[in-house]
């Protein structure tokens, strides 16, 4: 069998992990510029100076209290891997040519918001022509090869100026800044970009508010405020985008985690369902246009209030998305008594229990290709709208042989199994799937650990965890394999 002829095959990246050029073209600082490197055992840290003048390194996934911050600072003795990343900024022509050589139909990238509005788009602020011109050049280069850009408006970075002003998405004023930014880029690129995503992995707000939206907090009420503001902002962007160009297709983006019950004990099944609810709460709001009852009840029990103002619920209803995109890397296991079981020991954002039927990557992420078919079916059953797998891939150590080749058979095996699962979901189960963009098609910086040693790409970049490397590009075995896959519409695996 094969996937449809108009299937959007390609690869995915994000500015914060790939683009570099952090201080070029009057670009403002973003929340990612103050995150250090880490490893899978040492956390990445947010660096700032506190009110007592002390230098603080706060673990990214734990966060800190906003009130403690005097100002954010990059410390001389720390490494900040996102500053240069793998330098798409200076290599975009070469990289897009490599994507074209593989036959890409689609390239997912994000716009660095602070490259367009250095201060996030506060009242009266003018957009930066240098930034706008850069993305014009990038999109033109894609279109030259017939590659459709798929643009994420906010992917794990928020202008730091917004955090400094009012803790970013913890404050309602950020909605207007985001909409101003969307208006500028929608108008500017309305004839070049058709596919847009409003927020990357929006459900990660409750796992890492810093990474997802530049908010420093440990407080659940603040995270729920943040979610509400982003729901309103996303819905406004969808409405505005459709006014600017009715042909736009604007999607949401979920980090989907398929959850199995540990046993057939009904209590485990309920625990797995609760996990699922936590995950799909975000798509429930963005695809269906209203808050689901299970979460409203939880908020009531916990004394959490949604910061709803007049008109918000109508906006959320009117601004539902055109399609649902998601990332899929792992599945997880839940039990009502999790302490009785061994942990999976992996997964950057959500740790589950160890699944005895699955193997795991070098970073402990449990590999489950069948789960992708399951995920596609569950999401399609629930929402009945087109789906798009915009991230999937294997982070692994790669070895360069003496002759310069890289035999990444493990990556090919991983991708082959997942593509087979997609094929079955489409051809046997009838799921409406728009495309597949493999994550990190050119090596980039890991979001959770800040490493470049955790490589995903078809293309190797000469860049290492200590910041060294000449940034040269080299094709891996998977590069030639993916080219065949695309040419054959997914038949030649
Ligand atoms: C997703 C993110 O969570 O997973 C990407 O959208 C990220 O930004 C990807 O890079 C893989 O995770 P990691 O931590 O291996 O980079």
Per-residue pLDDT reduced to its tens digit, 292-347: 999 999 999 999 999 999 999 999 999 999 999 999 999 999 999 998 998 876 44
Confirm if 59 and 149 have CB atoms less than 8 A apart: no
Spatial CB neighbours of 424, under 8 Å, sequence gap ≥ 6: 373
Domain membership flag for residue 76: no
**Rounded Cα gap, residues 89 and 86, in angstroms:** 9
Nearest residue (by CA) to ligand 1, atom 8, is: 447
Residue 348 has pLDDT above 70, yes or no: no
C-alpha to C-alpha distances, 106 to 109, 132, 432, nearest whole angstrom: 10, 21, 17
Per-residue pLDDT tens digits for 362-402: 888 999 999 999 999 999 999 999 999 999 999 999 999 99
Residue 472 CB coordination number (10 Å): 11
Distance (angstroms) between ligand 1 centre and the Cα of 491 equals 28
The pLDDT value recorded for residue 352 is: 80
Distance (angstroms) between ligand 1 centre and the Cα of 364 equals 14
For ligand 1, mutation pick of 42, 348, 414 (most atoms within 8 Å of CB): 348
Angle at 299 between CA 298 and CA 301, to 5 degrees: 65
Per-residue pLDDT tens digits for 126-162: 999 999 999 999 999 999 999 999 999 999 999 999 9
| β-sheet bridge partners, residue 360 | 366
The pLDDT value recorded for residue 342 is: 87
Distance (angstroms) between ligand 1 centre and the Cα of 137 equals 26
Ramachandran angles phi, psi of 472, nearest 5°:
-70, 155
Residue 170 has pLDDT above 70, yes or no: yes
For ligand 1, mutation pick of 360, 392, 447, 451 (most atoms within 8 Å of CB): 447
Q: Which of 255, 280, 260 is nearest to 270 (CA)?
A: 260
The pLDDT value recorded for residue 347 is: 43
Per-residue pLDDT tens digits for 287-300: 999 999 999 999 99
Residue 492 CB coordination number (10 Å): 12
Secondary-structure percent of the chain, ordered helix, strand, coil, rounded to 5: 40, 15, 45
Nearest residue (by CA) to ligand 1, atom 14, is: 448
Domain membership flag for residue 46: no
pLDDT > 90: percent of the chain: 95
Spatial CB neighbours of 166, under 8 Å, sequence gap ≥ 6: 173, 174
Nearest residue (by CA) to ligand 1, atom 10, is: 447
Domain membership flag for residue 47: no
Nearest residue (by CA) to ligand 1, atom 15, is: 446
Nearest residue (by CA) to ligand 1, atom 9, is: 447
Per-residue pLDDT tens digits for 17-40: 999 999 999 999 999 999 999 998
Q: Which domain holds residue 283?
A: 8-30+81-487
Domain membership flag for residue 56: no
Domain membership flag for residue 171: yes
Q: Which of 223, 228, 237 is nearest to 178 (CA)?
A: 237
Distance (angstroms) between ligand 1 centre and the Cα of 53 equals 33
- CATH code of the domain covering residue 369: 3.20.20.80
Distance (angstroms) between ligand 1 centre and the Cα of 348 equals 8
The pLDDT value recorded for residue 349 is: 40
Interface ipTM above 0.95:
yes
The DSSP code for 286 is I
For the chain, the domain total comes to: 1
**Rounded Cα gap, residues 459 and 415, in angstroms:** 15
Question: Which residues does ligand 1 sit against, CB inside 6 Å?
Answer: 14, 17, 156, 200-201, 255, 327, 348, 391, 395, 439, 446-449, 454
Phi-psi category of residue 326: left, alpha or beta, with phi > 0 → left and psi -120 to 50 → alpha: beta
Domain membership flag for residue 313: yes
Domain membership flag for residue 423: yes
Per-residue pLDDT tens digits for 213-256: 999 999 999 999 999 999 999 999 999 999 999 999 999 999 99
The pLDDT value recorded for residue 307 is: 98
Mean pLDDT of 436-459: 98
Distance (angstroms) between ligand 1 centre and the Cα of 14 equals 9
- State which ligand 1 atom lies nearest to the alpha carbon of 16: 8
- Enumerate the active-site residues: 391
Confidence category of residue 350, pLDDT binned at 50, 70, 90: low
Domain membership flag for residue 433: yes
**Rounded Cα gap, residues 391 and 437, in angstroms:** 6
The pLDDT value recorded for residue 381 is: 98
For ligand 1, mutation pick of 448, 455, 465 (most atoms within 8 Å of CB): 448
């Amino acid at each position: 069998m094969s996937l449809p002829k108009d299937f959007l095959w390609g690869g995915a990246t994000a500015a914060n992990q790939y683009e570099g050029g952090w201080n070029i073209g009057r670009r403002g600082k973003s929340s990612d510029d103050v995150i250090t490197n880490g490893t899978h055992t040492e956390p990445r840290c947010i660096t700032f100076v506190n009110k007592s003048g002390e230098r603080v390194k706060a673990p990214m996934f734990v966060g800190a209290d906003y009130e403690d911050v005097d100002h954010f600072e990059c410390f001389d003795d720390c490494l900040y891997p996102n500053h240069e990343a793998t330098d798409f900024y200076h290599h975009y022509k070469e990289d897009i040519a490599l994507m074209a050589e593989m036959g890409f139909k689609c390239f997912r990238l994000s716009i660095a918001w602070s490259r367009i509005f250095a201060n996030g788009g506060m009242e009266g602020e003018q957009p930066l022509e240098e930034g706008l011109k850069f993305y014009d050049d990038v999109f033109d280069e894609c279109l030259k090869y017939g590659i459709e850009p798929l643009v994420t408006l906010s992917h794990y970075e928020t202008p730091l100026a917004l955090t400094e002003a009012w803790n970013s998405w913890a404050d309602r004023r950020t909605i207007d800044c985001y909409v101003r930014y969307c208006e500028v880029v929608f108008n500017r690129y309305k004839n070049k970009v058709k596919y847009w995503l409003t927020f990357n992995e929006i459900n990660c707000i409750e796992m890492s508010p810093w990474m997802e939206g530049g908010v420093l907090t440990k407080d659940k009420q603040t995270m729920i405020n943040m979610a509400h503001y982003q729901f309103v902002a996303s819905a406004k962007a969808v409405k505005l985008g459709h006014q600017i160009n009715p042909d736009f297709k604007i999607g949401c983006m979920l980090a989907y985690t398929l959850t199995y019950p540990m046993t057939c004990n009904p209590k485990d099944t309920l625990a797995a369902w609760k996990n699922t609810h936590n995950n799909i709460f975000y798509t429930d709001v963005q695809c269906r246009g209203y808050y689901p009852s299970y979460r409203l009840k939880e908020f009531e029990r916990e004394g959490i209030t949604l910061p709803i103002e007049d008109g918000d619920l109508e906006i959320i209803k009117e601004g539902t998305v055109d399609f649902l995109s998601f990332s899929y890397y792992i599945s997880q296991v839940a039990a009502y008594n999790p302490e009785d079981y061994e942990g999976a020991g992996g997964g950057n954002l959500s740790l589950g229990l160890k699944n005895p039927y699955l193997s795991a990557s070098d970073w402990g992420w449990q590999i489950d290709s069948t789960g992708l078919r399951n995920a596609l079916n569950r999401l399609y059953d629930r929402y009945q709208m087109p789906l798009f797998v915009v991230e999937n891939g294997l982070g692994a150590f790669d070895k360069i042989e003496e002759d310069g080749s890289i035999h990444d058979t493990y990556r090919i095996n991983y991708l082959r199994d997942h593509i087979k699962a997609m094929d079955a979901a489409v051809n046997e189960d009838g799921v409406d799937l728009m495309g597949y963009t493999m994550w990190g098609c050119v090596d980039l910086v890991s979001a959770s650990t800040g490493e470049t040693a955790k490589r995903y790409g078809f293309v190797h970049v000469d860049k290492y965890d200590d910041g060294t490397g000449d940034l040269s590009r080299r094709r891996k075995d998977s590069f030639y394999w993916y080219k065949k896959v695309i040419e054959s519409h997914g038949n030649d695996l």
